[in-house]
Chains A and B, each alone.
Chain A
Amino acid sequence: MALQLTLDNLQTNYIKQLNSQKMAKSKNIKTETKKSGKSQINRQEKPKFERVKPLLKIPLEITRDMLPGANMVDENIIVFDNNLSTIKQDAE
């Protein structure tokens, strides 16, 4: 009986300990997220206007029929009408 009680106490203490560790951990994560969120964005400011420049020294050249496969178009891509002869880029 006494042994059972000690075991029960041990289990209860272990669970309590686990829960408090869990709470402390989630608190830390929450605080950190809040901090980084604040430093990332100033809520009072407006988004900054930016003129994006191409990142590729030699842009990717594709034809219009390749667009659905490419899934996107941006500053790094030149899209030609479906006329392959205009693409100067050599095959690797």
Chain B
Amino acid sequence: MKKILVSPHNPITGPRHLGHYLGSMKDLIDIQNDYECYVILDDMLASLMYPKERSKIINRTLFVVQDFINAGLDPKKSKIVLTSQLPQLYELIFLIGSVVDFDYCKTLHSSSFCGLLKHYQRRDLNLKFHPSTSEVVYPQIGIPCVTLGLQAEYFQGGEEITGYISTMEEIVDGYSSLNKTQFTKPKYVSSAMPFVKGLDGAYMIQGNGLLLSADEKEIRQKVSETKDLSIFGQWYSAFGEKNNSEKLLSLSEKAAKTEMANFLVDYLKPFRESKLTNGDLLDIIESSTKSAKNLLSETCESMREDFGLLNL
């Protein structure tokens, strides 16, 4: 039986860009046959952190599912699950929460995205002046709880998720010393390129990046606007195109840009020509959710016994 690997993602920005792809998605696709992979799209986190964007979360989440499939994730082997569809997760959070110190959670919150926001930034997002209980608790232990609940042994993604590793270790130590249920501490599976530079040389986000589903014209235009060609070298390396990376040094600026644009236009073709409908994507989510729910229920049952509660 293959070991379980969890790869968490935030769907709030919808269409994925090269930073998402090279920083995490590509590596996951490359290793999907070695593990039983669960891609966790944390739409609950998106809803809690961005109340202003709630009407857009479903469409953006489906777009992310589409990008994963077009990137090569095999839905027959790997699972794509939304946190909002896992009622067992919220029981887990409640039970696991009993071994997480509130002050520890508050400290984690203070260095998290929401905790770092100034009052005027919270207002921009429609977040209340004071953080809610959900805001303090869920973003810190939601992903750790689903990972432990799925009995994952591996945890994969970009460097922004590495903080969860120590949270999971803290939970496992706290819970296992007091209870019969024993959790495994998941090992972090790093990406080959966890820090991907955008077209302006800064950390890639949508604004300075290139969307996987961008049309040919946009790809060529954005590549032509790049000022620092060393970024192409980083991208080629992340794509595993060592030869192109070395060749780059011998090319003129114009030729290097044309070469990179041609490469991207060709490589990203499956994203532009997607034929998947919402129905197809919902079916993929539905079948994935069943197996995730089974695993989480198994964990919940064991924990209910720890708590002296009935399992019907």
Contacts and interface: CB of A to CB of B under 8 A. Distances in A.
B53 A55 contact: yes
Interface stretch (B29-37, B95-103, B160-168, B289-297): B160-168
Contacts of A89: 118
A75 B206 contact: yes
B203 A42 contact: no
B15 A46 contact: no
Nearest to B45: A72
B193 to A, nearest CB: 14
Nearest to A50: B14
A77 B278 contact: no
B121 interface: yes
Residue in A47, A48, A66, A76 whose Cβ sees the most chain B Cβ within 10 Å: A47
A40 B58 contact: yes
Contacts of B140: 71
- Interface residues of chain B: helix, strand, loop or mixed (majority): helix
A49 B277 contact: no
B216 to A, nearest CB: 15
Contact of B277 (A45, A48, A71): A45
A49 B281 CA distance: 15
Contact of A50 (B15, B163, B277, B279): B15
Contact of B124 (A49, A57, A70, A71): A57
Given A41-B278, A43-B277, A68-B163, A74 B116 contact: no
In this complex, the interface size class of chain A, counting residues with CB under 8 Å from chain B, is 35 or more
A10 to B, nearest CB: 27
A3 B67 CA distance: 69
In this complex, the interface size class of chain B, counting residues with CB under 8 Å from chain A, is 35 or more
Contact of A71 (B12, B139, B202): B139
A40 B56 CA distance: 10
A67 interface: yes
Given A56-B124, A71-B164, A79-B202, A48 B112 contact: no
A46 B121 contact: no
Given A50-B60, A60-B116, A77-B113, A69 B277 contact: no
B52 interface: yes
Contacts of B251: none
B7 interface: no
B117 interface: yes
Contacts of A54: 207
20 contacts: A43-B278, A44-B277, A44-B279, A46-B276, A49-B213, A50-B14, A52-B15, A55-B52, A64-B195, A66-B116, A70-B111, A70-B112, A70-B116, A71-B139, A71-B161, A73-B158, A74-B206, A75-B206, A78-B203, A92-B118
Interface of B: 10, 12-15, 45, 50, 52-53, 56, 58-60, 62-63, 66, 108, 111-113, 116-121, 124-125, 139-140, 143, 158-164, 195, 202-203, 205-207, 211, 213, 274-279, 281-282
Interface of A: 40-52, 54-58, 60, 62, 64, 66-80, 89, 92
